[in-house]
Structure 1
Amino acid sequence: MELRHLVSFLAIADELHFGRAAARLHLAQPSLSQHLQRLERSVGVTLVARNSHEVRLTPAGQAFRSLAKDIVARAELAGQVARAAAAGRSGTVRVGYNFPAGQRILPATLAALNSRHPAIDVTMFEMRTGPQLAALAGGRIDVAMVYGRPTAANLDSRLLLRVPLVAVVGQEHRWAGLDRVPFGALDGEACVLFNRAQSSAMYDTIFSAAKTSGIRLDVAEEVDDPGATAILAAIKPVVGFASALRGRLTDIRATGPRTTTVGLIDPVPILDLHVVWPTDHGPLVDAFLECLPDRAEE
């Protein structure tokens, strides 16, 4: 049983017309007929019935068709994998990402990568910006998706997404139920923040908005885990900060004390989400970058 005979059979099965099937494969019609005859001899049954009026698959041909499709598809995949290996596009790319990237960027990217480069695997690590950049510098990941644009000379980057920040408060907080508040309303409010090393861009964006509003933030708690921020905001009269995407999921927690998000305006604190990679990189990173979607708005 030869692969070309399977390809010819599938063309006949699709077209149910020998002339169209031959033209599709750029074959002479007698050659196509010979392929079918040799395949049927190999299988030992008639796969295609034809007369002067019609061409149809026999019950055996119908049963054979789906498996033949699978064989041809796997043969094509084997060729893609071999070519990818020869081009250096076979292996694993290690990707760091934060929450908005995981929600808005990675799903489409991984689907495209799997379709275009099936020989490439992806290992993913969800981290805040600071740990991602440290892992990138240490060679523990190949690509980072972080807030802010790193200035290091050995890194390249591209803007992917603009992400607004929101306030996170408990349902008993006086802001609960409000659609938005001016950033200046944080004056006198106890806040939950994180160590700047965890995400310098997010930290600086928050303090820059406070400066623009002419207020001084009262940092009552410092936790580095976003989940812990939501828990504290749910049980204490404090205000946390989150991306709008994470905040929306925080709003629908099913049990226990709940939080809600409130938009911040005048100014709206905005974070730029960038994909970052080493200037000196290989074909695996190139393949991943080619599959990233165009810049999107939050």
Structure 2
Amino acid sequence: MPQSRIFLIALLAVLFAGCAMPMPRKDDPYENFNRKMYAFNDFTDRVAIRPIAVGYRKVTNNTARRLVNNFFANIESPITIANDLLQANAKEAFTSTSRLAINSTVGILGLFDPASEMGIDAHATDFGVTLAKWGVPEGPYLVLPLLGSINGRDIVAFPIDSFIFDPLSWYARSHNMKLEAQYLPTAVYLISLRSSAIDAEGLLEGVYDPYVFYRDAYRQRRLYKIYRGNPPPEAIQSLQGVDDVDVDKLLQEQEKYEQKPKPDAQPHKG
């Protein structure tokens, strides 16, 4: 399951439902294509990816999963460090480098997170944010097979982070093992991400159109990441668009959804 769809994005439902910012704009020039890709990704997740993540949760406990998540967060930190430097954020780059050094040593290869206990908080950034800082426009919203929600700017950024800054990619390219075992760390990382998202799946209950939810949550998440959680009013207004939100229609569609007879409980939706 792609990171853009499964990692932290569902947590934005709290922001979304709480009206902390205006409803995102609805422009979606490739919506027909995007909905087909969303349906494909959803099907692939339900029949293949989610069952693997569920199995992973069954053979691990909370402590083991937390250690795995800590390990991969530490491994992936060079992506943030490199982009902090490219964004000329020297203080943040120093903080991220300090976390990497402390957690890789005192934290035993990142399995533990003593840096946070020392008050050195984690943050994350990527090359898509870097391009935004450099003035590259967002581009159209897209849903790609397996990768999920993305925009034109992030399509350009994705290979930079994935192949140049990502240590998991470095490892896979520098090894040649039987049965392509060099990709096993990447596979475990993706499974751990999908597993982490299972706890947030209940937030989709009552959403009449999960596609719209994911699209708008993705846009909000990227905006907040670019502005480090504090976007200016003009950026929020740009996300909203101008006179393109029909609130009455949205409420009517939600009411119709809630009046529909609900099917028996499904193991997963969206």
Q: Confirm or deny a common fold (TM above 0.5).
A: no
Structure with bigger strand share is 1
Bigger relative contact order (CA 8 A; separation at least 6):
2
Q: TM-score, normalised by structure 1?
A: 0.22
Task: Kindly name which structure, 1 or 2, has the bigger radius of gyration based on alpha carbons.
Answer: 1
Structure with bigger helix share is 2
